[in-house]
A and B are shown apart, each in its own frame.
Chain A
Amino acid sequence: MLSFFNPLRIRGGVHPEAHKTATANLPIVTDFPLPKKLYIPLQQHVGKPAEPLIRVGDKVLKGQLLAYSQGMISAPVHAPSSGTILDVNDYPAPHPSALPIRMIVLETDGQDTWMLAPTVNDPFQLTPEDISLRVGAAGIVGLGGATFPTAVKLNMGREAHIDLLIINGSECEPYLSCDDRQMQERAEHIIDGVRIMLHSMTTTNAVVAIEDNKPLAFLAMQKAAQSFAAITVMQIPTRYPMGWDRQLIKYLTGKEVPVGSRSSEIGVTIHNVSTALAVHKAIRYGQPLVSRVVTVSGGAILRPLNIEVPLGTLIAELFTFCEVKTDAVARIIMGGPMMGDALPHVNLPTVKATSGVLALTQSELKNTEEHPCIRCASCISVCPAGLRPLDMANNIRMNQLDAAVDIGLKDCISCGCCSYICPSNIPLVQYFKYAAGEVAARQQAQHKSEQTKRLIDARAARFKRIADQQAAEEQVRLAAKAARSHQLTTDSDTSTILGSRLAQQSEVDAH
């Protein structure tokens, strides 16, 4: 019934000012001066952190494996340049809290010497499984920002026999233009990466979806894909968050991914254009993921650019290169201005997820003067997930977290549309992030209290067992005494009793 009033396939969404022209018309800078030191976090992906296999003082070449992936969902980390390992220790993470995480510090030698790697002339001779393995070994993760290990996704796509691969070139976040530039400049390589991905998933159809505010990228990609019938390049409406994978899937296929399921379960897998490019490099040239294109932009940046940056470069160096107006900076953001994280300072490294680094001025930021909610319901109409942000925020404000969960807190994707549109400047997304964390913390606390109870019960049971044993032992002793008084016992019997007693005693001690 509701669909009658909402015939469009796109739900919600906003039209923020794009701010992309400053960088979208300039070529990607590929001669960024190599930093003296690179700070490479061991976790730049969803899943388990990588485990370092180098030692401090080791000399490494560009592309050499520094840390190997642990477990099913993880990704290895490679040296972004050649040089010496200075340290493996905790350093501030590129995260709103800037709390420390484990990083490898690499002092570059300026040579930037690649490790010798075999090139593959015809990747289509490789088995699909082999491609997944190579992609996994190259440390490739979803470069759109989700950083889910790509190899795992390729395997899931192959196992689920998907019938469509979607390549996400929507880049709906304002300011960012790194995907746009890469599609304009490296279209052939991206299309090659798409073909390799198709081969790896043993499927035949791919759609490259590009927002219609990037006509040059669309033309370049269309030209590159011309000779491959399997790959369709198409334009999609410009609307944030068009790049949300589930929104894009709905728009292109008309199908929704059920809550709690993966997109491969409805026959679709979605990858980012940068990821396709990384796959191309990894398979054709054996180059692992050691650099990425980062948009450096914002009102406080004098020379906004797209830069090919070695992973681990400090943001401070990017800002120096792009000439930042220091006193005009009101907020530093990693990622886009809708979903990105505000960083407390600039001495934090760029990672695989860093699509952009923005230095915004006060006038670009949303006003933070908060007013009471007037129930204008704008947040409901822009929510792409179909939630009711105003009711959820009210519940959370009153500490009714369970009620917020009941009306969909866990389905929130933190896209920021509600915060963007709110005329009362209510920090809705922060309410939801807070509540999600709090719910998780409470679940942990619940778990801990159950565990505590189990431990206490176990302890009580143990004490009872020991008491019982001691009582039994006392009886044995008394019985033995009584027996001894009647008749002589052999030495071996005594030693048996003594032995068992010792064993019991040692068990008591062990506890």
Chain B
Amino acid sequence: MYVLAAIVSLTLLGLLLGFLLGLAGKYLKVESSPLLDAIEALLPGSQCGQCGFIGCKPAAEALANGNAPATICPPGGSALAEQLALLLGLDLDLSDVKEPELLVARVSEATCTGCTRCFKVCPTDAIVGAPKQIHAVVADACIGCKKCIDVCPTECLQMHAIEVTLRNWRWTKPVTAKAEVNTMGEALC
């Protein structure tokens, strides 16, 4: 009898508190628009579409609604992913996320006709040139959106990996023993 009373009272207490929590969640909901603005401010705003959304704003909405992972933006890389995770309070596991290989467009001088189509679509004005003259890509400004590739009539624009030089060479992260075992496990499976 004694035990039964305890079970019953605790169950009732749990139900009541849960109900109150549910009510609070429904009626005290915080409007998420400031969050949306904050996310949009973080995203590059280049509307490159690499995330699968048509632009940065829809991607920001998806992020705000929890429909997209923090790692959604390839040009932002893991730095942006970390900032987004911090803002949204998400758990971020970057260990499985491969750092997207950063690409930049490069003009092949042999086939460029100087048609100016590419620099008209470039969202960051990274392509310089003049009509009937060979264009060039400013690698530092290129965000790898590939829009120029689509419009180039002679396929003279190609994406290349950013060249590793002594200036941007970095030490790699040490491989932990655990990770090694995991990869071995995969090999065995």
Indicate whether A and B are direct neighbours in the complex (CB within 8 Å).
yes
**Which positions in A face B, CB cutoff 8 Å?**
93, 95, 97, 99-101, 370-371, 396-397, 399, 401-402, 426-427, 430-431, 433-434, 436-438, 440-442, 445-446, 448-449, 451-453, 455-456, 458-459, 509-510
Q: A455 contacts B124, CB within 8 Å?
A: yes
With A449-B76, A452-B143 given, is the CB distance from A97 to B169 under 8 Å?
Answer: yes
Chain B 132-176, CB-CB to A under 8 Å as 1, else 0, gives 000000001101000000000000000000001110111111101
Q: Which residues of B contact A430 (CB under 8 A)?
A: 171-172, 174
Query: Shortest distance in angstroms between A339's beta carbon and chain B's nearest beta carbon?
Result: 14
B77 in the interface, Cβ–Cβ < 8 Å?
yes
Could you tell me the distance between the alpha carbons of A397 and B95 in the complex, rounded to whole angstroms?
9
Q: Which residues of B contact A397 (CB under 8 A)?
A: 176
With A453-B44, A455-B124 given, is the CB distance from A99 to B169 under 8 Å?
Answer: yes
Q: A452 contacts B44, CB within 8 Å?
A: yes
Query: Shortest distance in angstroms between B124's beta carbon and chain A's nearest beta carbon?
Result: 4
The 5 closest A-B pairs by CB, nearest first: A437-B170, A442-B79, A433-B171, A455-B124, A434-B171
Could you tell me the distance between the alpha carbons of A442 and B82 in the complex, rounded to whole angstroms?
10
Q: Which of B143, B169, B177 contacts A370 (CB 8 A)?
A: B177
Chain B 89-101, CB-CB to A under 8 Å as 1, else 0, gives 0001011000000
Q: Could you give 23 example pairs across A and B, Cβ below 8 Å?
A: A93-B166, A95-B166, A97-B169, A99-B164, A370-B176, A371-B177, A399-B94, A426-B174, A430-B172, A430-B174, A437-B170, A437-B171, A438-B173, A440-B170, A448-B143, A452-B124, A453-B44, A455-B123, A455-B124, A456-B44, A458-B125, A459-B123, A459-B124
Closest to A510 in B: B130
Q: Which residues of B contact A442 (CB under 8 A)?
A: 77-79
Q: Which of A100, A427, A453 contacts B174 (CB 8 A)?
A: A427
Q: A449 contacts B80, CB within 8 Å?
A: yes
Residues from 77 to 132 in B contacting A, C-beta threshold 8 Å: 77-80, 82, 92, 94-95, 123-126, 130-131
Q: Which of B75, B77, B125, B171 has the most CB of A within 10 A?
A: B171
Query: Shortest distance in angstroms between A50's beta carbon and chain B's nearest beta carbon?
Result: 15
Q: B176 contacts A446, CB within 8 Å?
A: no
Q: B79 contacts A445, CB within 8 Å?
A: yes
B18 in the interface, Cβ–Cβ < 8 Å?
no
Q: Which residues of B contact A401 (CB under 8 A)?
A: 82
Dominant secondary structure of chain A at its interface with chain B: helix
Query: Shortest distance in angstroms between A274's beta carbon and chain B's nearest beta carbon?
Result: 25
Q: B131 contacts A509, CB within 8 Å?
A: yes
B46 in the interface, Cβ–Cβ < 8 Å?
yes
Q: B123 contacts A456, CB within 8 Å?
A: yes
Closest to A444 in B: B168
Q: B124 contacts A446, CB within 8 Å?
A: no
With A99-B164, A431-B174, A434-B171 given, is the CB distance from A459 to B125 under 8 Å?
Answer: yes
Q: A441 contacts B177, CB within 8 Å?
A: no
Q: Which of B45, B82, B169 contacts A453 (CB 8 A)?
A: B45
With A95-B166, A370-B177, A399-B95 given, is the CB distance from A456 to B45 under 8 Å?
Answer: yes
Could you tell me the distance between the alpha carbons of A345 and B104 in the complex, rounded to whole angstroms?
31
Q: B173 contacts A434, CB within 8 Å?
A: yes
Q: B173 contacts A452, CB within 8 Å?
A: no
Q: B165 contacts A99, CB within 8 Å?
A: yes
Q: Which residues of A contact B77 (CB under 8 A)?
A: 442, 445
Could you tell me the distance between the alpha carbons of A436 and B123 in the complex, rounded to whole angstroms?
31
Could you tell me the distance between the alpha carbons of A510 and B125 in the complex, rounded to whole angstroms?
12
Residues from 28 to 82 in B contacting A, C-beta threshold 8 Å: 44-46, 75-80, 82
Q: Which residues of B contact A448 (CB under 8 A)?
A: 140, 143
Could you tell me the distance between the alpha carbons of A431 and B171 in the complex, rounded to whole angstroms?
8
Query: Shortest distance in angstroms between A457's beta carbon and chain B's nearest beta carbon?
Result: 8
Q: Which of B77, B79, B141, B164 has the most CB of A within 10 A?
A: B79
Contacts A93-B166, A445-B76, A459-B124 known; list 12 others, CB within 8 Å. Answer: A97-B169, A399-B78, A430-B172, A441-B79, A445-B79, A449-B75, A451-B141, A455-B125, A456-B46, A458-B125, A459-B123, A510-B130
Q: Which residues of A contact B169 (CB under 8 A)?
A: 95, 97, 99
Q: A452 contacts B131, CB within 8 Å?
A: no
Q: Which residues of A contact B171 (CB under 8 A)?
A: 430, 433-434, 436-437
Could you tell me the distance between the alpha carbons of A420 and B172 in the complex, rounded to whole angstroms?
19
Could you tell me the distance between the alpha carbons of A212 and B177 in the complex, rounded to whole angstroms?
41
With A446-B79, A452-B46 given, is the CB distance from A99 to B176 under 8 Å?
Answer: no
